[in-house]
Structure 1
């Protein structure tokens, strides 16, 4: 591995590019230890002997910021995460994966963004991001948001982009959780959505006696209105088929129920969707699941809030 910073690809101001930093992030994490953004970039600074004057170059409008080079590490970390070369075991913490080790061994300091963009994990990530963006765009059009203030629309698009990326990471965490935790999660979500009613209750069923039903939500104290849940924690390429929906319908019939919600972290086959629709079963896929989790703040917390002002023309009418 090259350890001379001056040999890296640089922008006009001699600052190493996002692309050039990629292999060095993996290099300083190759022993498997975890690190924050700050720890990682400090190790890379030392490994490449990057001088202080380069590290301290700031954006003209943000003199108190960490600097341009520090900001570029954030982009590099994000790119490596999307390609599956890094994971985030905890908030703000990064760790190299088997994919990252393979890429480092195979490409060394020749690793580029183009290589990452050809990784299956990166392709899947961008495909899911595109689908989420399209769904949000269709939803905005349905409520005629396109006729609103153009500036407001642009801000909305930026917020959606950020939240879509958070939702993808959230779904990945859910897929790597235990099946039992996933059942607790979906029950918690439906309670937050108001399905348990004012005096109802919600619970998950025991494995030994679930009879094909993972959760039960009584919407009133007497249990006269009940929602039954089935939760399948599947990988993204493992779609729920019609047989699973038929089995759930059979479980609902066994308890004389007519209200069922099937939730998965993946998607449904066309046949499964048609059968569920004919039997009145509500289907929630992975994208819908995480969108609802963001909306009702289950497993997430608000990070930032910004206020956008507009002119109060009525005020000036007083003149």
Structure 2
């Protein structure tokens, strides 16, 4: 492939969407690809001059063309053209195979119009509406000098980045198996402190759960117990009132007064009303992943920034 025939962007390198045909070509050649191997294969296939192939960002020293392939992999995965089959491995989907025959016409506009990508964008908007800050990162001034302005921009950009991570996290959970989700929900509630110092937490056996997926005893004697229902649904599969009523019945059989219903989708208005009258706490997909980031379950801290100011008291002492 002669890279000069592709749409070129900054640094004289192909744009991420210009790489789509090459990515799909390689992805279709074997059952799955390790991300690093796929990035290198695509980058090498461009036949770039040595200086461009080895070009790195000045700050982070990441290889630019491989970084651009990584961005393309992320966008294609969000759109459902590729899927992550396990950690660090990618596989072409049926949709990706369909697009393979017309990959030369696939650009960022087409990718961003696909249903899964649109769903992802809608979810990001909903997260922003639920957040405490409505700042649009694109509206921030590029030239900042005051500590307040810098703090404002760091907070906004960090929130925007974390919103993307949370949306990706939710999609990964939806692609997992139901038993994994049940384990995840129990681990999250334990991380939030519901187990207590001497309590216990466990996932019930699937063959005999009686409508209860997890149990948390908040003390050693089990006098305070939280019962959990976990539904790993796709975004379009909204939890309805009958499922809340069923969980309420399961709680009654346990003589319980504490129930938490978590899902990867949403709750209908009827389900919300039923939960209020039955004293059941509802956690939907967006709140679930917000809590996962807050309590660092399924994620890890990537970077911390330190912002200094003058200690006026130090100078007053002189």
Work out whether the TM-score is over 0.5: yes
Contact 2:39 2:70 in 1 (8 A): no
Structure 1: 5+ residue runs without aligned partners? Answer: 141-147
| 1:172 alignment counterpart | 171
Instruction: Give the distance between the partners of 2:168 and 2:11, measured in 1 at CA.
Output: 34
Report the 3-state secondary structure (helix = DSSP H, G, I; strand = E; otherwise coil) of the residue aligned with 1:28: helix
Instruction: Give the distance between the partners of 1:200 and 1:41, measured in 2 at CA.
Output: 47
| 1:76 alignment counterpart | 72
Of 63, 82, 85, 1:86 maps to: 82
Contact 2:43 2:69 in 1 (8 A): no
Runs of 4+ that moved beyond 6 A: none
**Is 2:130 the counterpart of 1:132?**
no
Contact 2:83 2:92 in 1 (8 A): yes
Contact 1:227 1:260 in 2 (8 A): yes
Instruction: Give the distance between the partners of 1:243 and 1:178, measured in 2 at CA.
Output: 23
| 1:112 alignment counterpart | 107
Pairwise CA distance, 1:169: 2.2
Instruction: Give the distance between the partners of 1:95 and 1:310, measured in 2 at CA.
Output: 48
Pairwise CA distance, 1:19: 2.5
| 1:257 alignment counterpart | 256
**Is 285-294 or 88-97 further displaced after alignment?**
88-97
Instruction: Give the distance between the partners of 1:284 and 1:303, measured in 2 at CA.
Output: 26
Instruction: Give the distance between the partners of 2:12 and 2:207, measured in 1 at CA.
Output: 64
| 1:42 alignment counterpart | 40
Instruction: Give the distance between the partners of 2:201 and 2:65, measured in 1 at CA.
Output: 50
Instruction: Give the distance between the partners of 1:19 and 1:176, measured in 2 at CA.
Output: 25
Instruction: Give the distance between the partners of 2:317 and 2:34, measured in 1 at CA.
Output: 55
**Is 2:16 the counterpart of 1:18?**
yes
For these two proteins, the number of residue pairs brought into alignment is 307
Structure 2: 5+ residue runs without aligned partners? Answer: 136-146
Q: What per-residue deviation string (whole Å, max 9, x for no partner) do you get for residues 10-69 of structure 1?
A: 23653222221222222222213444554334322333322223324455x44x724443
Contact 1:198 1:220 in 2 (8 A): yes
Q: What per-residue deviation string (whole Å, max 9, x for no partner) do you get for residues 115-140 of structure 1?
A: 10111111111111111122223599
**Residue 318 and residue 126 in structure 1: after superposition, are their counterparts in 2 closer, same or farther (change >3 A)?**
same
Instruction: Give the distance between the partners of 1:188 and 1:38, measured in 2 at CA.
Output: 31
**Residue 65 and residue 33 in structure 1: after superposition, are their counterparts in 2 closer, same or farther (change >3 A)?**
farther
Report the 3-state secondary structure (helix = DSSP H, G, I; strand = E; otherwise coil) of the residue aligned with 1:84: coil
TM-score, normalization by structure 2: 0.88
| 1:232 alignment counterpart | 231
| 1:144 alignment counterpart | none
Report the 3-state secondary structure (helix = DSSP H, G, I; strand = E; otherwise coil) of the residue aligned with 2:28: coil
**Is 116-125 or 216-225 further displaced after alignment?**
216-225
Instruction: Give the distance between the partners of 1:239 and 1:70, measured in 2 at CA.
Output: 39
Report the 3-state secondary structure (helix = DSSP H, G, I; strand = E; otherwise coil) of the residue aligned with 2:267: coil
**Is 116-125 or 199-208 further displaced after alignment?**
199-208
| 2:306 alignment counterpart | 307
Pairwise CA distance, 1:178: 2.2
TM-score, normalization by structure 1: 0.87
